[in-house]
Structure 1
Amino acid sequence: MPITLTDQIGIKHTFETTPKRIVSLVPSQTELLYDLGLEDSIVGITKFCVHPFHFKSTKNIVGGTKNVKFDKIKELQPDIIICNKEENTKEIVEELQEICPVWVTDIYTIEDNTKMIHDFGELFNKRTDAKKWIDKINFCLEDFKNFIKDKKENKTAYFIWANPYMVAGNNTFINELLKLNKFINIYERKEGRYPEIELKKMRLEGDPDIVLLSSEPYPFKDEHAFEIGRFTHHAKAIFVDGEMFSWYGSRLVKSFEYFKAIHNKLT
């Protein structure tokens, strides 16, 4: 029986049967598909799809998230390609649509994340597995909210790049998780989702209590922490696992425990 579903950018898809051959062009969504029990259905991934670890030797690599090898994907004869509005460009999605249906996610909030997991459950006939992960995330979320309720707020800057320096701004999943942690993003109102900033203006733009230096996409080092610190009054620099703040999907279960560890260090 055909199934008709609408993805997160409003495109309606109809499938005569459950898609069996999946190409995933988003690392966090590859991890989610695996956790939903779809390992055997995944035929292609990006070079950045590092979880689970063994996929790099068992799956076909079809390029990066922004540099896709279309011919390689076509050869894999996928039934569906999984993309994301932020990770993959509109031009990439349009070219991929010539190969097969392209399902695009759009994740800004935890509610968006829940919708994605539910959709994948419907799309790939993994409803029970999807519900288990949604229930698990909701349980961990409530537990974390209880943990964080008595913690104090900290003005925060979350750095994602150096030379030039760039930070996470508003309308990002990172910002959603910062707010959940009571990390008040000093750049939330700055124009752009990942604005370029000048270090010398940091004090004027909010003077953070905490500077978070993400492990991805840029490999920050001690020298960066020292340089950034020179332009604040008292900020504490913390190197953080970028996957925990920017990966959606099933990763959130691990993220909440990771956030607890950060707060325990702070206190």
Structure 2
Amino acid sequence: MNQPANDWRALAASAGTGGYGPQRIVCLTEEPTEWLYMLGEERRIVGISGYTVRPPRAREEKPKVSAFLSAKIDKIVELQPDCVIGFSDLQADIASQLVKKGIQVTIFNQRSVAEIFSMMYQLAAMVGQEARGLALIQGMQRRLLEIERAAAGLKRRPRVFFEEWYDPHISGIAWVSELIGIAGGDDCFPELAAKAMGKDRIIADGGEIVRRDPDIILGSWCGRKFRPDHVRARAGWENVSAVKNNQLFEIKSADILQPGPAALTDGIEQIHQLVMNWSQVHA
């Protein structure tokens, strides 16, 4: 295992790049954990989010030190991290507490597909895996282009409503909307996708969803199990195309609401398959 260098002389004497960059990383969300494992740099991780499920082994190997909006600050300090990685202004309070204790904090704020790739590249470079990271990124990009080309041949694109929460209704965030488009669908609420905060993507009038008549409804209820029967039972929804044609599906939050590798691989693959299945019957 590479040990952190005490000074620049140790780094100068090193033949590789392993001594550069953070050696003891705490990840406050799942996506940097999954990415570091993909890069083969999991040894650097000393703490993870309690919501982490990807990769499964991370839950067995790493101590859990945070939720999403809260963290065990004392526990993180005890782990002596030289970098804590978080996501967005929602973790600003956690970041502030850690900075005040002299801990380096890096907060990413990726909201689009391009920004997710940028985050992944930056993190790969931080741990001396720029080349491996770029190769993995380019592989994902090639697959996205393949999916997009396949979707271009659809006779009709389905209208897709992505429901991030059900009471109140919250539509999909930017990267989800983009991935729906790449996969061959049209987001029913593209005008809301650019809104970073869930509260700004609330659809107060459920009747508006009915009027936009989605062909497919995807549910990803922030960790809660999606219930198609709950959707079917909504007053006035019986004539919505997705309800009539039984096109109600769950995409697990870990696969699509994590702005990292999962959404760009398993998440879009699931959406694309559902779109293509729909097109064979309903297009």
**TM-score band, normalised by shorter chain:** 0.7 to 0.9
What is the alpha-carbon distance in structure 1 between the residues aligned to residue 45 and residue 254 of structure 2? 21
Larger gyration radius, structure 1 or structure 2: 2
Would the alpha carbon gap of residues 219 and 70 (structure 1) be closer, same or farther in structure 2, given more than 3 Å must change? same
Matched, 1:207 2:213: yes
Match for residue 267 of structure 2?
255
Q: CA deviation at 1:71?
A: 0.7
Q: Say whether the 8 Å CA contact 1:84–1:104 is kept in structure 2.
A: yes
Aligned mates of 1:95, 1:50 — CA distance in 2: 26
TM-score, normalised relative to structure 1: 0.84
Cα displacement string for residues 23-81 of structure 1 (whole angstroms, at most 9, x for unaligned residues):
00111221111111111110000111111212222211102011111111111000101
Question: Unmatched 5+ residue regions in structure 1?
Answer: 3-15
Aligned residue runs from structure 1 range 56-205, under 5 A: 56-85=59-88, 88-99=90-101, 100-151=103-154, 152-169=156-173, 172-190=174-192, 192-193=195-196, 194=198, 195-197=201-203, 198-204=205-211
**Following TM superposition, where does structure 1 have runs of at least 4 consecutive aligned residues deviating by more than 4 angstroms?**
190-193
Matched residue pairs, number? 250
TM superposition score normalised by structure 2 = 0.79
Residue identity opposite 1:168 in structure 2: G
d(CA) in 2 for partners of 1:78 and 1:150? Answer: 49
What stretches of structure 2 of length at least 5 have no aligned partner? 1-7, 10-18
Aligned partner of 1:12 in structure 2 is none
User: Offset at 1:256?
Assistant: 4.1
Task: Tell me how far 1:208 sits from its aligned partner.
Answer: 1.7
Identify the residue that residue 246 of structure 1 maps to in structure 2: 257
**The structure with more helix, counted as a fraction of residues:** 2
Measure how far apart 1:259 and its partner are. Answer: 3.2
Please list the CA deviations of residues 127-179 of structure 1 after superposition, one character each: whole Å capped at 9, or x if unmatched.
2221221121122112111211112222221111123332225xx22122122
Contact 2:26 2:48 in 1 (8 A): yes
Check 1:243–1:183 CA distance in 2 against 1; reply closer, same or farther (3 A cut). Answer: farther
Does the 8 A contact of 2:184 with 2:272 survive in 1? no
Closer, same or farther: CA 259–167 of 1 in aligned 2, 3 Å = closer
